[in-house]
Structure 1
Amino acid sequence: MRKRLRRLLLTAASLAVAVAASACGPDDERGASGTPTSAGAEPVAGTPTAGTPTAAKPSASSSTTASQNPTPARTTSAPTSAPTPAPRTRAAWPRISFARLTFEIPPGWTLTTDGNDSDACVQPVNRAGLPTMFGCAGIAIKSGSIPGNEMRPYQARQPGGWYPATDVQPCPVRPTTLADGSFNGITSGTSASPVESGLRPVGSRKAAYDRWTAACASGYLFAPQAWHLPVSRVLFLDYTGHAETARVLESVRFPG
Structure 2
Amino acid sequence: MKRSLMKKRLRPLLPAVACLTFAVAASACGPADEGAASAKSTTGRPTTQETVASSPVSPSVTASPTPTPARTTSTPTQKPTPKPTPVRKTVAPPARAAWPRTSFAGLTFEIPPGWTLTSYGSEACVQPVQRAGLATAFGCAGIAVKSGSITGSELRPYQARQSGGWYAASDVQPCPVRPTLADGSFNGITSGTSSPPVESGLRPVGSRTAAYDRWTAACTSGYRFSPQAWYLPVSRVLFLDYTGHAETARVLESVRFPG
TM-score of the two chains, using structure 2 as the length reference: 0.72
Cα deviations across residues 196-226 of structure 1 (Å, max 9, x unaligned)?
A: 1222111111111111111111100001111
CA distance in 1, matches of 2:53, 2:46: 16
Aligned residue number for residue 138 of structure 1: 142
Give the aligned residue type for 1:251. Answer: S
The 3 A distance-change label for structure 1 pair 242 and 55 is farther
CA distance in 1, matches of 2:79, 2:202: 62
Give the aligned residue type for 1:57. Answer: A
Aligned residue number for residue 56 of structure 1: 69
Aligned residue number for residue 48 of structure 1: none
Give the aligned residue type for 1:232. Answer: S
CA distance in 1, matches of 2:70, 2:185: 111
Aligned residue number for residue 159 of structure 2: 155
Give the aligned residue type for 1:81. Answer: P
The one of 70, 76, 80 aligned to 2:81: 76
The one of 209, 212, 237 aligned to 2:212: 209
The 3 A distance-change label for structure 1 pair 144 and 71 is closer
- What secondary structure, in the 3-state scheme, does the structure 2 residue paired with 1:86 have? coil
Give the aligned residue type for 1:247. Answer: R
> Structure 1 residue 148: deviation in Å?
1.0
- What secondary structure, in the 3-state scheme, does the structure 1 residue paired with 2:146 have? strand
The 3 A distance-change label for structure 1 pair 71 and 254 is closer
Give the aligned residue type for 1:105. Answer: I
Aligned residue number for residue 229 of structure 1: 232
Aligned residue number for residue 101 of structure 1: 107
1:1-256 maps to which residues of 2 (within 5 A)?
11=24, 16-21=42-47, 24=50, 56-58=69-71, 76-81=81-86, 83-88=88-93, 89-114=95-120, 116=121, 118-175=122-179, 177-256=180-259
Give the aligned residue type for 2:248. Answer: T
> Structure 1 residue 80: deviation in Å?
3.0
Between the two proteins, the alignment pairs up a number of residues equal to 218
- What secondary structure, in the 3-state scheme, does the structure 1 residue paired with 2:98 have? coil
Identity %: 69
Aligned residue number for residue 8 of structure 2: none
CA distance in 2, matches of 1:27, 1:232: 123
CA distance in 1, matches of 2:68, 2:187: 105
CA distance in 1, matches of 2:161, 2:68: 94
Cα deviations across residues 38-57 of structure 1 (Å, max 9, x unaligned)?
A: xxxxxxxxxxxxxxxx9712
> Structure 1 residue 150: deviation in Å?
2.0
- What secondary structure, in the 3-state scheme, does the structure 1 residue paired with 2:116 have? strand
CA distance in 1, matches of 2:52, 2:243: 121
| Structure 2: runs of 5+ lacking an equivalent | 1-16, 28-40, 55-66
TM-score of the two chains, using structure 1 as the length reference: 0.73
| Structure 1: runs of 5+ lacking an equivalent | 29-53, 64-69
Cα deviations across residues 64-103 of structure 1 (Å, max 9, x unaligned)?
A: xxxxxx9997753524335233221322222221110111
Give the aligned residue type for 2:213. Answer: D
CA distance in 1, matches of 2:46, 2:215: 133
Q: Give the structure with higher Rg (CA).
A: 2
CA distance in 2, matches of 1:235, 1:98: 12
> Structure 1 residue 119: deviation in Å?
0.7
Q: Higher mean Cα deviation, 159-168 or 16-25?
A: 16-25
CA distance in 1, matches of 2:81, 2:23: 93
RMSD of aligned residue pairs (Cα, Å): 3.4
